[in-house]
A and B are shown apart, each in its own frame.
Chain A
Amino acid sequence: MSAPRIGAEPSRTARLVILIVVGLVFIVPLAAMFQFTLRLAGKSGYSFIHYVSIFHPDPALGTDYSPIWQGIQNSLVICVITVAIVMLVLLPTMLLVELRYPRFRRILEFVCILPITIPSIVLVVGYVPVYQRVAAVFGSAPWTLAFAVGIIVLPYAYRPIATNIQAFDLVTLTEAARSLGASWPTAIARVILPNMRRGVISAVFLTVAVVLGEYTIASFLSQNTFQTALLLISQTDSYVATIFALTALVFAFVLLVIIGRFGAVRPGGRVKKTRRPRGTEPRIPLPTPTPARSAS
């Protein structure tokens, strides 16, 4: 590589220096979290005692971890219902728009991206009265949160599915299936959905990540979810709260690495080259304009 470099690419050294420095800075807080979970209260030295205490709580201390298990359980139930909303309400609507009313694509996109512009803390002001009505109909069980969370999730679910639809010729394939005599349900089940596996799976994973990370709405509607339970537990046992937080971060990271690998290597390898209009969208259909949800 003695030729002078042209274009925007960095030199090897520059790349390594930047990535290593930034990487280290970003690892510090996470490493600190891990180190914290190993500390002993009031003493020096390290041990895994706090990890053990999750499953065998010390009765003398009287710490009760049941809120966090309950919170995780509630969050998982909300996950399932939110995923159901995405699959049974959003996905069919997107297909309907694509197949029958393409001119509404813009409107649908606008509606789906809209929740990004409205901070969840603002929506919460409106959810408080709305949920008084919801409670009258469905009761105030934690799963009802899924309706509100489903809105927060819309941009995250919409993006990967929309990117996927762009990447294959939905209309032509469907027309081909129909003209060969397939009924609509057959065309959808055997032609459309198999082609949308990637987008749908990304949407589901992102939905799961967003639901597990949701704090704002749950806290204002006084529901016990994973995040609110974390904060609650941290007041009595910050070690255990940190263990759960770190585990959740690692879990989400692994989940997203899997989406990434899944997107890169298609299992079955039937369609190797997906058409990428303009070649600009990220490989993982990451929700590009993504403010607000991060820490909300």
Chain B
Amino acid sequence: MTTRSIPETASPTVGSVVSSELRAGSARRSPAPRTPAGRAPAPGDSGGTGGSRPRRRSAAWLGFTPFAAYVVLFLAIPAVIAVASGFFTADGAFTLANLSALTDPTIVKAFQGSLLVSIVSALLGAVIGALVCFALLGTKAEGMLRTVVDAASSVLAQFGGVMLAFAFIATIGFHGVVTLWLKDTFGLDVNANGALLYQTSGLIIPYTYFSVPLMVLTFMPAMEGLKATWGEAAATLGATRFQYWTKIAMPVLAPAFFGSVLLLFANSFSSFATAAALLSQGGIVPLAIKQQLTSETIVGVANSAGVLALGMLVIMVVIMFFYSLLQRRAARWQR
């Protein structure tokens, strides 16, 4: 960041010319020039500006130090270590041999499990969530209903984790409310083939449960972007509601919808806590990483957790790349 700045400060970009000119002007005219203008907004500034009154620009730069240092230490370095460690042997020599861990049968199975659970829960979550968004159309955004739905969605989508695992044990575990009810009413035992919840595919249920609210949060703005005038125009031209949906609303919403699907997928794919509370062994990639971190079990491969982390990150980066593409397309209609 610091190096990029220098040419840019010399020639400010078009958008900011006026305001930065103004700012510079007002700073110069200000009655208290002893405080370098840029210092104040940065209380975290390490204070290296005291004493001999350095030039204003360089002083303002120091304001970035705390944040930059923090992000480098706790985001950049760990991320690099996580990914790079997969390329080193136990002795610290560079190697590509560790990548063979990705072909280990248990690991392949873990990736398959993760993909299955994430894809199914993302699709289910997206469809149900979109229905909820549809139902919420036309309600007041500031109203109590929307406030409650938004709050509940945030809690379930982002706060669940271990607690949702408990909820599902109480629901469809061996003595869960729904399990007992189904057994008593229909004689149906959901756990007939072993505990449903403690299998990889059983994770689909809790994962869908936190995917739906996430869909509501991410898709609602797009739904609200549907302009009333489009519906009126279509109706004036004699379109039925079915035609309105298939010819106008759905094509407009499609990029946002698929973008949200990707987001839901990424969310399910990377979530760990619910699975950790339910399953003791692997079955999905995050749990496999946990296993490899605690005891490396793949023969002949060092730092296998790093290799798995790399595999996960590659998938996430691909997903987020397509997400941003779709997001850009979707944004066109939201102006």
Question: In the complex, what residue of chain B is closest to A277 when comparing beta carbons?
Answer: B335
Chain A residues with Cβ under 8 A from B103's Cβ?
A: none
Question: In the complex, what residue of chain B is closest to A288 when comparing beta carbons?
Answer: B218
Q: Which 6 A-B pairs have CB atoms at the shortest separation, nearest pair first?
A: A7-B231, A184-B40, A126-B78, A119-B270, A291-B267, A295-B271
Contact B161 A257 (CB under 8 A): no
Give CA–CA (A150, B209) in the complex, Å: 27
Give CA–CA (A107, B210) in the complex, Å: 30
For the complex, is A49 an interface residue (Cβ under 8 Å from B)?
no
Contact B235 A6 (CB under 8 A): yes
Chain B residues with Cβ under 8 A from A73's Cβ?
A: none
For the complex, is A58 an interface residue (Cβ under 8 Å from B)?
no
Q: Mark B121-162, 1 if CB is under 8 A from A, else 0.
A: 000000010011011111101100011101111111111111
Contact A8 B134 (CB under 8 A): yes
Question: In the complex, what residue of chain B is closest to A103 when comparing beta carbons?
Answer: B13
Which of B32, B41, B267, B317 lies at the interface centre, i.e. has the most chain A CB atoms within 10 A of its CB? B41
Contact residue range for chain B?
35 or more
Which of B20, B148, B171, B270 lies at the interface centre, i.e. has the most chain A CB atoms within 10 A of its CB? B270
In chain A between 78 and 105, which residues have their CB closer than 8 angstroms to a CB of chain B?
A: 85, 88-90, 92-93, 95-96, 99-104
B20 to nearest A CB, angstroms? 8
Q: Mark B241-255, 1 if CB is under 8 A from A, else 0.
A: 100110001000000
Question: In the complex, what residue of chain B is closest to A12 when comparing beta carbons?
Answer: B138
Chain A residues with Cβ under 8 A from B40's Cβ?
A: 183-185, 187-188
Chain A residues with Cβ under 8 A from B169's Cβ?
A: 238
Contact of B63 among A14, A26, A92, A126 (CB under 8 A): A92
B130 to nearest A CB, angstroms? 10
Contact B209 A29 (CB under 8 A): yes
Chain B residues with Cβ under 8 A from A18's Cβ?
A: 131-132, 134-135
Contact A256 B151 (CB under 8 A): yes
Contact A123 B271 (CB under 8 A): no
Contact B159 A212 (CB under 8 A): yes
A295 to nearest B CB, angstroms? 4
Contact A9 B137 (CB under 8 A): yes
Give CA–CA (A59, B2) in the complex, Å: 61
Question: In the complex, what residue of chain A is closest to B12 when comparing beta carbons?
Answer: A103
Give CA–CA (A260, B272) in the complex, Å: 28
- State whether A107 and B64 are in contact (beta carbons under 8 Å apart), knowing that A119-B270, A290-B158, A291-B267 are contacts in the complex: no
Chain A residues with Cβ under 8 A from B139's Cβ?
A: 15
For the complex, is B96 an interface residue (Cβ under 8 Å from A)?
no
Contact B147 A264 (CB under 8 A): yes
Give the size of the chain A interface in residues (CB under 8 angstroms). Answer: 114
Give CA–CA (A294, B160) in the complex, Å: 6
Contact A125 B289 (CB under 8 A): yes
Given contacts A29-B168, A90-B67, 13 further A-B contacts (CB under 8 A): A15-B138, A93-B44, A102-B15, A120-B270, A126-B79, A151-B74, A151-B75, A184-B39, A213-B159, A231-B276, A249-B159, A256-B151, A290-B218
- State whether A8 and B178 are in contact (beta carbons under 8 Å apart), knowing that A122-B79, A256-B150, A282-B220 are contacts in the complex: no
Contact of B272 among A7, A147, A216, A234 (CB under 8 A): A216
A225 to nearest B CB, angstroms? 11
For the complex, is B115 an interface residue (Cβ under 8 Å from A)?
no
Give CA–CA (A264, B8) in the complex, Å: 40
Chain A residues with Cβ under 8 A from B5's Cβ?
A: 101, 104
In chain A between 227 and 256, which residues have their CB closer than 8 angstroms to a CB of chain B?
A: 227, 230-231, 234, 238, 241-242, 245-246, 248-249, 252-253, 256
Contact of B176 among A32, A171, A252 (CB under 8 A): A32
Give CA–CA (A7, B131) in the complex, Å: 16
Contact A290 B157 (CB under 8 A): yes
For the complex, is A274 an interface residue (Cβ under 8 Å from B)?
no
For the complex, is A269 an interface residue (Cβ under 8 Å from B)?
no
Contact B150 A286 (CB under 8 A): yes
For the complex, is B100 an interface residue (Cβ under 8 Å from A)?
no
For the complex, is B89 an interface residue (Cβ under 8 Å from A)?
no
Chain B residues with Cβ under 8 A from A259's Cβ?
A: 151
Chain A residues with Cβ under 8 A from B289's Cβ?
A: 121-122, 124-125
Contact B234 A6 (CB under 8 A): yes
For the complex, is A129 an interface residue (Cβ under 8 Å from B)?
yes
Give CA–CA (A120, B220) in the complex, Å: 26
